[in-house]
């Protein structure tokens, strides 16, 4: 099968990376809308327009299914895209349900981080109404974090100060919160920092596994078990050839090793952060 996965930028690679682990034999087209990143501070109309263009582009590449590897784009556009096109279109949503289930009867709360658009869209309100019946979730906008990720700035003093300040606005500690839900795919790159700031007791929960498992069900393909060791990417060709992937940035195919090495770095970072739960 050929699977199209897209995001505004590098966040969607965390979903692609999960797909590599679970469906190593499929073929992938990854599309980052680098010309328009970030989506999370743009208008709904703009986002809808970008998403529609990308979906049309991926359809011309004969994909069997599309994964919108972006919570923001999903919130705004997944319903409209499903109405307009007939192929399976999957989206992301903040993994509040597993966080509520893990929290159980504890008195602790759940912190859901996302972009401003995801937080103000009705889709999240509806999700909370359905799964957060005991009103345990607090929402936290992180408007700048996507740009830190795009600059590959995962560990600088300025990103650390930014995350600390945002956490302080809700008094985030491991006494207060049982889990931190990463409601934006770009937020995966910072897992070690959340752990450092919040301590070991807070669970870090993303929606990647859930989305990829759902993809397997929709396409009726069998999921590989989690291996003992991570994937090892040594050269750009490892990701392109081993995982039969074509990478695009806003419509341009990325073929040169210099630009592909950015993807290599991202996948290696994602392999590293994968062990932080
Ligand atoms: N990765 C996108 C998400 O999951 C980030 C959107 C943006 O570009 O702001 O929401």
Residue 71 CA, ligand 1 centroid: distance in Å: 6
Using the 3D structure, point to which of 206, 230, 263 is the last residue of a domain.
Answer: 206
Among 154, 183, 206, the domain boundary falls at: 206
CA dihedral 211, 268, 25, 73 (to 10 degrees): 30
Same domain assignment for residues 158 and 125: yes
pLDDT band at 208 (very low <50, low <70, confident <90, very high): very high
Task: Report pLDDT for 229.
Answer: 47
- Residue from 126, 70, 134, 68 nearest 100 by CA: 134
Q: Directed axis angle between helix 122-131 and helix 96-103, to 10°?
A: 30
Q: What is the pLDDT of residue 227?
A: 59
Do 100 and 166 belong to one domain? yes
DSSP track, the chain: -EEEEEESSGGGHHHHHHHHHH-TTSEEEEEE-TTT---TTS-HHHHHHHHHHHHHHHHHTT-SEEEE--HHHHHHHHHHHHHH--S-EE-----HHHHHHHHTT-S-EEEEEE-HHHHHSHHHHHHHHHH-TT--EEEEE-TTHHHHHHTT-SS-HHHHHHHHHHHHTTT--TTTEEEEEE-SGGGGGGHHHHHHHH-TTSEEEESHHHHHHHHHHHHT-PPPPPPSS-----SHHIIIIITTEEEEETTEE--SHHHHHHHHHHHHHHHHHTT--
Q: Judging by DSSP bridges, how do beta strands 137-141 and 177-182 pair with one another?
A: unpaired
Residues 116 and 173 in one domain: yes
Residues 36 and 128 in one domain: no
20 and 82 fall within a common domain: yes
Domain boundary, last residue among 176, 206, 236: 206
Q: Can you give the pLDDT at residue 230?
A: 62
Q: Hunting for tokens 């991570």 — which residue is that?
A: 230
Instruction: Based on the fold, state whether residues 67 and 116 are members of the same structural domain.
Output: no
Q: Are residue 43 and residue 86 in the same domain, yes or no?
A: yes
pLDDT higher than threshold 50 for residue 228: no
Atom of ligand 1 nearest to the CA of 75: 10
Contact residues of ligand 1, CB 6 A cut-off: 7-9, 11, 37-40, 70-72, 115, 118, 146, 184-186
CA distance 30 to 26: 13
CB 42 within 8 A of CB 151: no
Residue 53, strand partner residues = none
Average pLDDT over residues 41-60: 97
Candidate list 16, 70, 73, 202, residue with the active-site label = 70
Calculate mean pLDDT across residues 27-38.
Answer: 97
Q: Are residue 107 and residue 196 in the same domain, yes or no?
A: yes
Please indicate, yes or no, whether residues 56 and 116 belong to a single structural domain of this protein.
no
For the entire predicted model, the pTM comes to 0.96
User: For ligand 1, atom 2, which residue shows the shortest CA distance?
Assistant: 70
List the single range of 67-71, 184-188, 222-226, 259-263 with lowest mean pLDDT.
222-226
Q: Which residue has the higher pLDDT, 88 or 106?
A: 88
Distance CA(127)–CA(85), nearest Å, equals 24
Say if residue 106's pLDDT is above 80. Answer: no
Per-residue pLDDT, averaged over 44-69, amounts to 98
Q: What is the CATH number of the domain that holds 181?
A: 3.40.50.1860
Distances (CA, A) of 158 to 154, 197, 262: 10, 14, 22
Q: Give φ, ψ of 35 to 5 degrees.
A: -70, -25
Whether 13 and 63 share a structural domain: yes
C-alpha span between 229 and 233 (Å, rounded): 12
Share of the chain above pLDDT 70, in %: 98
Q: Do 105 and 201 fall within a single domain?
A: yes
Q: Is 70 a catalytic residue?
A: yes
Q: What is the mean pLDDT of residues 253-259?
A: 93
> What is the per-residue pLDDT for 233?
83
In this structure, is the dihedral angle defined by the CA atoms of residues 146, 148, 154 and 156, taken in order, positive or negative?
Answer: negative
Arithmetic mean of pLDDT, 227-255: 85
Q: Which domain holds residue 216?
A: 2-92+209-273
What's the 105 CA to ligand 1 centre distance in angstroms?
Answer: 31
Chain centre distance of CA 203: 17
Give yes or no for a contact between 181 and 95, defined as CB atoms under 8 angstroms apart: yes
Same domain, 161 and 35: no
What is the mean predicted confidence (pLDDT) over 132-139?
96
Query: What average pLDDT does the segment 112-127 reach?
Result: 97
Q: How many domains does the chain have?
A: 2
User: How many angstroms is it from 112 CA to the middle of ligand 1?
Assistant: 14
């Amino acid at each position: 099968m050929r699977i199209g996965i897209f995001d505004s930028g590098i966040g969607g690679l965390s979903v692609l990376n999960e797909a590599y682990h679970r469906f190593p034999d499929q073929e992938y087209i990854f599309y980052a809308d680098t010309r328009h990143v970030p989506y999370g501070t743009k208008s709904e109309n703009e986002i809808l327009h970008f998403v529609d263009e990308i979906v049309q582009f991926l359809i011309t590449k004969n994909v069997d299914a599309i994964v919108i590897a972006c919570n923001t784009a999903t919130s705004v556009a997944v319903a409209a895209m499903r109405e307009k096109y007939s192929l399976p279109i999957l989206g992301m949503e903040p993994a509040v349900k597993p966080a509520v289930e893990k929290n159980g009867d504890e008195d602790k709360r759940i912190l859901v981080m996302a972009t401003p658009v995801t937080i103000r869209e009705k889709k999240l309100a509806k999700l909370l109404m359905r799964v957060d019946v005991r009103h345990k979730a607090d929402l936290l906008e992180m408007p700048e974090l996507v740009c830190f990720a795009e600059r590959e700035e995962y560990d600088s003093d300025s990103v650390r100060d930014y995350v600390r300040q945002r956490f302080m606005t809700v008094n985030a500690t491991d006494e207060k919160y049982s889990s931190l839900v990463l409601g934006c795919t770009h937020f995966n790159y910072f897992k070690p920092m959340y752990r450092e700031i919040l301590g070991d007791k807070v669970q870090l929960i993303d929606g990647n596994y859930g989305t990829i498992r759902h993809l397997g069900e929709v396409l009726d393909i069998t999921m590989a078990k989690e291996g003992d060791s991570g994937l090892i990417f040594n050269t750009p060709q490892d990701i392109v050839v081993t995982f039969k992937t074509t990478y695009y940035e806003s419509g341009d195919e990325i073929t040169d090793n210099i630009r592909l090495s950015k993807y290599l770095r991202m996948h290696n970072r994602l392999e590293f952060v994968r062990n932080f739960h």
